[in-house]
Structure 1
Amino acid sequence: MSDLPPDLPRLRTLETWLALALARVRERIADEERRERERRRGERTRPPAAEWLIETGIGEGHRALYVHTGGCHMAGKRVRGVSRDAAARAVAEGVEACSHCRADTGLGIHG
């Protein structure tokens, strides 16, 4: 006893459907492989995370509000990576150091 249709027309229909289904599966595999290659390339070429961040306000001029260490969980969305010297200069000029990551301590500046 076979689970396949008994006649040639239905077998041909099934063959066509299977060929189309296989083509769709292969296309999906190729798409997923491309996405994976792109993800890996992105990981390899991603610049290193900034060690110091300056968080800015939303008004005109985007005034600096806080200095954070690079991995600070309290850093908002409006941040830019800066050098250690720029972070230290900002603190020295009165920009508040984050009280959570203690950027001032990390910079060796004790207020």
Structure 2
Amino acid sequence: MTGIRERLERWRAVQAWLAWQQHQVEQTIRGLEAALTEEESRLPPLPPPDWKVEGIRTAAGRRALLVHVGICGMGKGKPINRDQARRMLAEGVDPCPYCSPDTSLGMPG
């Protein structure tokens, strides 16, 4: 019976040490996250893309809904370049009615 009690005490000591280690890891992660947040707050924001496309996910994949000028606040989207924006508009993707990327691209509306 004594052997079992000693083994149990050793395993409880291991458990306590692991709990201490877990606490140390969590503190270190919190400190690094705070440092990263502080560092990122000092970086200048990235410039907006020139153009972006807003889409939805469907069973067949993604479907483009609207093309936006990059600074448009009416839709979130994936950055695209000028040629991609022109091609999407020519293929029938609607232009945002607020930022009018078709006008900015010199395309007939």
Query: What TM-score do the two structures reach when normalised by structure 2?
Result: 0.59
Counting matched residue pairs gives 76
Any stretches of 5+ residues in structure 1 without a counterpart? 1-30
Does 2:92 match 1:108? Answer: no
Instruction: Output the TM-score relative to the length of structure 1.
Output: 0.58
CA RMSD of aligned residues (A): 2.4
Instruction: Report the secondary structure of 2:83's partner residue.
Output: helix
**Higher radius of gyration, 1 or 2:** 1
Q: CA deviation at 1:64?
A: 0.7
Listed as ranges, the matches of 1:18-97 within 5 Å are 34=35, 35-40=37-42, 42-43=43-44, 47-60=46-59, 61-76=61-76, 79-97=77-95
Question: Residue 68 of structure 1 aligns to a residue in which SS?
Answer: strand
Partner of 1:17: none
Residues 37 and 65 (structure 1 numbering): CA distance in 2 closer, same or farther, change over 3 Å?
A: closer
Higher strand share: 2
Equivalents in 2 of 1:57, 1:109: separation in Å? Answer: 24
CA–CA distance in structure 2, aligned partners of residues 70 and 55 of structure 1:
11
Identity of aligned residues (%): 40
Q: CA 1:109–1:39 in 2, change beyond 3 Å: closer, same or farther?
A: same
